[in-house]
Structure 1
């Protein structure tokens, strides 16, 4: 699977995990040069507190376009630190 935005591959992995129709990419599969930590956090009742990244490619920013669970709940430990995408980031085979 590949996550693509603004013509760049943000992440690529054969080992994504699908939860609630979102592909979660292993942390080591993201191209960290395109990711900037965000102060945004949200709470999922069963996964825990999510942290976000703003994606920056070719001088353009996509605020909070990627999220992950740095300390996932026991029910979601399998996706802890994995990264998922939204806000126009295309996830394709």
Structure 2
């Protein structure tokens, strides 16, 4: 089972993880309800496509743009459609 923790809060947990470039992508339904907040931030990966971001809210604090996902990934990255990955101090562990 893989878990994502931030600010002493379990924010995602799943045994259905896709790992790409060392990042664990969790199914969106594995994320604790209410911890993700839409962000206007985007970035572009040449082979995955355009990433969108979420801020993470947990235990009364916000971690801006600490999660990302690809709403329309390119064919080479189709396995991460409907999944989210974390960074910026979020601990992901097995």
State the superposition RMSD in angstroms.
0.7
When the two structures are aligned, how many residues end up with a matched partner? 93
Structure 2 unaligned residues grouped into runs of 5+: none
Specify the alignment match of 2:23 in structure 1. 22
Q: Is the 8 A contact 1:43 1:50 kept in 2?
A: yes
Specify the alignment match of 2:3 in structure 1. 2
Structure 1 unaligned residues grouped into runs of 5+: none
Specify the alignment match of 1:92 in structure 2. 93
Per-residue deviation, residues 33-71 of structure 1 (Å, max 9, x unmatched): 111000000000000000100001122110000000011
Q: Distance in 1 between matches of 2:69 and 2:8?
A: 22
TM (norm. structure 1) is 0.97
TM (norm. structure 2) is 0.96
Per residue, is there more strand in 1 or in 2? 2
Alignment partner of 1:77: what SS?
A: helix
Quote how far apart the aligned CAs of 1:32 are: 2.6
Q: Distance in 2 between matches of 1:81 and 1:42?
A: 17
Q: Distance in 2 between matches of 1:92 and 1:58?
A: 19
Specify the alignment match of 1:74 in structure 2. 75
